[in-house]
Structure 1
Amino acid sequence: MLTDLKIKALKPRDKPYKVFDGDRLYLHVRVSGKKYWRVRFKLRGKDGLFTIGEYPMVSLYQARRERDKVAEQISLGVDPNIEKKAEALREKREDSSTFFAVSEVFFEKKKEGLSDHYVSQWNSIMARDVYPVIGGMPISRITAPYLLEILETIEKRGAPTVALLARQFMGQVFRYAGARLLVEADPTVFLAGVIKRPKVRHNPPLEKPQLIDFFEKLALYKGFPPTVIAIKLMANTFIRTKELRSMKWSFLEGDTIIFPEEVMKMSTKHVVPLSTQSLALIEELRKYNGGHELMFPNARDPSRSMSSTTINRVIERLGYRGDFSGHGFRSTASTMLNEMGYREDLIERQLSHMERKGQRRAYNHAEYMPERRAMMQDWSDFLVSLGV
C-alpha cells in the first residue's frame, strides 16, 4: 500500500515504471518524474486502462475513490473511459448553457413585437435580481431552492409584484430550455403560490372639491415644468401613464394624437382629439422638449422615456399618497362625464376600453369621432371652470 511519503520519495528512472497501491490502482512514474494514477480493469472479457490524473493534483485519497468509482461502473457494464468523455461533453455543454446564456438567446427571439415597457421590466428584473444569483450556473443544475431565495429576497424589500414577475420570467426561460432538452423540468412550478399577489387597490375618482384642491396644490408646485405639464395633459386627455410616457412628437397630427398599436394596452390604435387647452400645453412643452423624439424624455437620458414612477411621485408630494394616482384621472373623467350626460359607449371609446366579453369585439379607433372631439373640449372647459 502506498503512502504520501512513499510517493514523494519515488524518483524518475531511465524507463517509466509502475508502483502498485492495490485493487488494480497504481502510479505510472515517467522519465520526466511526473506521476499518473491509473486503474486496470476488465470489461466484457477485454483488458482496459483508465487514467485518473496526475499526482499530487489528484491525491492518494482521491485516486482511491476514483478507483472505487471505476469498479462500480465496471459492475454496471459501463466503460469508464467512455463515461469520462461523456462527462466532459456534458460539462462543456453546461458551460455554454448557463441560465444567463439561455435567457439571452430566448429573449432575443421573444422580444420582437413586445412593448418597450415589457422589455425594460425584463432587463431590470433579470439584471438586478436573477442573474446575480443564478446567471452563471448551468441551467440544468438550478433547482427550486435557488429560485425561492430570489423570490423571497425581492418580497422582503416590499416588492411582491416584482417577485411574481421574476417567477414568470424565469419560468419562461426554463420552459424554453426544456423544449431544447437542456432541462428535464421547470422548477418554478414548485413555487406557485409562494408569493401572495397583493390586492389591487383602485384609487377612487376625485370629487369636484378634491379636484379643485389638487390643482391648487399643483399650481404651487415648483418641480420640473415638463412633469407639471404631463400631469395637466393627463387630466385633460385621461390617457394612461404608459401612453403618456410613450408619446412622440411624430404621434401628433394636427389637433389629434394617434397612438400606434405597439404602445397601447390592447395593441389597438387609439386616437385622442386634443382640446384647445391640451394643444396649449403641448405648445408650452415644445419650449422644453421640442428637440427630442419623445415628448416626455428622461431628464438624464433623453433617448428613454420618463420614469414610470415620476407622475405618481409628484402626486404623493402634493399629499395624495395612497389616495390618488395618475391613473385616477381616468376614473375621475369617466365618473364626471357620465354625470355631465355623455353616453357610456362614447366615454369607453375615449378611454380605449375594449368591448366586454359577450359583446361585439370589433374596435373602431375613429368611431364617434365628432362627438368625442366635442366631449374632450367640454371636459377641458369643465376643468377650466374649476380653476385648473
Structure 2
Amino acid sequence: MPLTDIQIRQAKPGDKPRKLSDERGLFIEIRPTGNKYWRYRYKIEGKENVFAIGEYPEIGLADARAERDKARALVKLGRHPAQARRTERDKQLVANKSSFRLVAMEWIESKSGITDGYRAQLTRAFTQNLFPYIGKLPIRDVKPALLLECLRRMEKRGATYYAIALCNWLSQMFRYAIRTLRVDADPAAALYGAFVREPVEHSRAMTVDEIASFRQKLEGYGGFRVNTIALELMLLLFLRTVEFRRGRWCDVDLDAAVWDIPAEFMKRRRRHLVPLPKRAVELLRELHSITGGRELMFPGLKNPSLPVNGSTFNKALERLGMKGFTCHDFRATASTHLYESGLFRGEVIEMQLAHSEDNKTKAAYNHAVYWKERVELMAWWERFCLLSGDHGVGG
C-alpha cells in the first residue's frame, strides 16, 4: 500500500530504526531519534543498493516520489543515482568557480608581454561593457546571442571600432577558457563579421596656411591651458597620441632638451629620443608649473593617476574649429613638409617619426642614431611651424 502524509507524520520512533515502504523501491526510515529519511532501494547488475534522497519533512512525500522517479530513470541506464548526483554537484562547484567574470580576469592577468596600460584597457573594456550583464553567469552558459547583445549596446552608442576590438579580445579569452577546460567552443567566433567598420579616413597634412590658422586659433583659445599646451606640443613634436598622453616627467630633461621615452611606452617597443626645440622647452616648463607635482605630464582630471582620456585632445581640436583634423594629422603634417623640404635624409625623418620600418633604418637602429641630424630637423620644424604663413619659411 502506498504511504500517506498522515501515516508519515504520525509514525513514532522505536528502539531500533524501522522502515515504512511506499512504492517502486521508495521507503522512509525512522530513526530512534525521531528523524525520518527517504531512501530508494534499487538493483544494478543483480546487486542491491540504497540511494539517500533526503530528510522528511524538508522533502515531502510528493517530492520524494519525484526524486525516486528520476533515480529510477538513471538506474534503467545503468547509472547509480548517488554517482550522478556527485557528478552534477562537482559540475556546479566548477561552474561556481568559472563565472564569466572570474575567467575573464584570470585571462587578463595571465597575459604576458603587455604593458600595464594595455592590461588596464582590457580590464576597463570587460568591466564596463560585459560584466554588468553576463559577469555572474557560468562561462559555459555564455552564448553568442548574449555576447552580441552586449556588443550591440556599444554599437548603438557609436563605439563600433571598440566593439570589434572587444569581440577579438573575447575570442582570445574563450580560447584560453578552452585550454583550461572551462568551455568546449568559442562563442565569440560566431560574431565575426557582425560589425562593419566605417571607411577609414587617412591622415591629411595641414598646408602652411592651415598651420598658421591653427596657431592663431590656439593663441585665442580660452579653454583649459593644459590642452592648449598639449596641442602646440603635438604639432612641434609629432609623437603618436598614445605615446604623448602617457608622457612622464621623469623621462623629460628640460636642461638637456630631450624627452627620453622608454620602450614600453612606444608602439614599436623601442626606446625613443625626442630632441626638444626652444619653443617646446618653454611650453614644457609652463606645463611643469601646472602638472609637475604629478608623475604624468597629462594626468586625467577624474583620476590623475591615469593619463588623460584619448579623445580629450581631438575634442579640443573640434572646439578650435579644426573640422576634419585629428591629433594623428600632426604626424602626417610633419612627415609631408619634412620630406618636401629636401633638407633631410629619409632615414632621419623616419627615425624621428619612430617608424623604423625600412630595412636600412632597421639595420642602423639604436635610440640615438642620427642624433645631430635629428636635433637639426626638430629645430628646423619648429621654425617652419612658427613662421608658417610667412614667405621666409625655409632652411
TM-score of the superposed pair, with normalisation by structure 1: 0.90
Question: Against the structure 1 CA distance between its residues 219 and 196, is the aligned structure 2 distance closer, same or farther, given a 3 Å change threshold?
Answer: same
User: For 1:203 and 1:276, how far apart are their aligned partners in 2?
Assistant: 27
Residue among 352, 355, 358 paired with 1:353 = 355
Structure 1 contact 12–30 (Cα < 8 Å) conserved: no
Provide the rounded CA distance (Å) in 2 between the counterparts of 1:222 and 1:167.
40
* Displacement of 1:162: 1.7
Q: Does 1:135 align with 2:150?
A: no
Q: Which residue of 2 aligns with 1:370?
A: 372
Give the partner amino acid of 1:285. L
Residues in 2 aligned to 1:3 and 1:32: alpha-carbon distance in whole angstroms: 21
CA contact (8 A) 2:239 2:331 kept: yes
Q: What is the aligned partner in structure 2 of residue 300 from structure 1?
A: 302
Residue 195 of structure 2 corresponds to: 195
What's 2:53 paired with?
52
Distance in 1 between residues matched to 2:208 and 2:241, nearest whole Å: 22
Q: Are 1:343 and 2:345 an aligned pair?
A: yes
**1:4-153 superposed matches below 5 A:** 6=6, 9-14=9-14, 17-30=18-31, 35-55=36-56, 57-58=58-59, 60-110=61-111, 112-153=112-153
Q: Could you tell me how far apart the structure 2 residues matched to 1:116 and 1:312 are?
A: 24
Who is 2:332 aligned against?
331
Whole-Å separation in 2 of the counterparts to 1:168 and 1:344: 36
The 5 A counterparts of 1:246-325 are 246-253=246-253, 254-321=256-323, 323-325=324-326
How far has the Cα of 1:359 moved from its partner? 6.6
Measure the CA separation in 2 of the matches of 1:66 and 1:295: 67
Out of 68-77 and 324-333, give the one that drifted further.
68-77
What number of residue pairs does the alignment pair up?
Answer: 385
Supply the distance in 1 between the matched residues of 2:211 and 2:304 (Cα, whole angstroms). Answer: 32
For residues 236 and 218 of structure 1, the distance between their equivalents in structure 2, rounded to whole angstroms, comes to 13
What residue ranges of structure 2 are gaps of 5+ in the alignment? 391-395
How many angstroms does 1:285 deviate by?
Answer: 1.1
Contact kept? 2:209, 2:389, Cα under 8 Å: no
Q: Which runs of 5+ in 1 are unaligned?
A: none
Alignment of 1:201-216 (within 5 A): 201-216=201-216
Contact 2:5 2:61 in 1 (8 A): no
Equivalent pair of 2:266/2:272 in contact (CA under 8 Å) = yes
Return the alpha-carbon distance in structure 1 between the equivalents of residues 361 and 378 of structure 2: 25
Moved more, 338-347 or 228-237: 338-347
What are the within-5 Å matches in structure 2 for residues 159-198 of structure 1? 159-198=159-198
Q: CA deviation at 1:289?
A: 1.4
Measured at CA, do residues 20 and 318 of structure 1 come closer, stay the same or move farther in structure 2, by a change above 3 Å? farther
Q: Distance in 2 between matches of 1:332 and 1:52?
A: 77
1:276 and 1:214 map into 2 onto residues whose CA distance is 20
Q: Cα offset for 1:326?
A: 0.9
Asked whether the equivalents of residues 96 and 138 of structure 2 are also in contact (C-alpha less than 8 Å), the reply is yes
What's the CA shift for 1:128? 0.9
Higher mean Cα deviation, 72-81 or 271-280? 72-81
Could you tell me the TM-score, scaled by structure 2's length? 0.89
Identity of aligned residues (%): 37
| Structure 1 equivalent of residue 388 of structure 2 | 386
Task: Name the residue aligned to 2:242.
Answer: 242
Q: Is the 1:113–1:262 contact (alpha carbons within 8 Å) kept by the matching residues of 2?
A: no
CA distance in 2, matches of 1:367, 1:54: 81
Question: In structure 1, what is the Cα distance between the partners aligned to 2:9 and 2:99?
Answer: 44
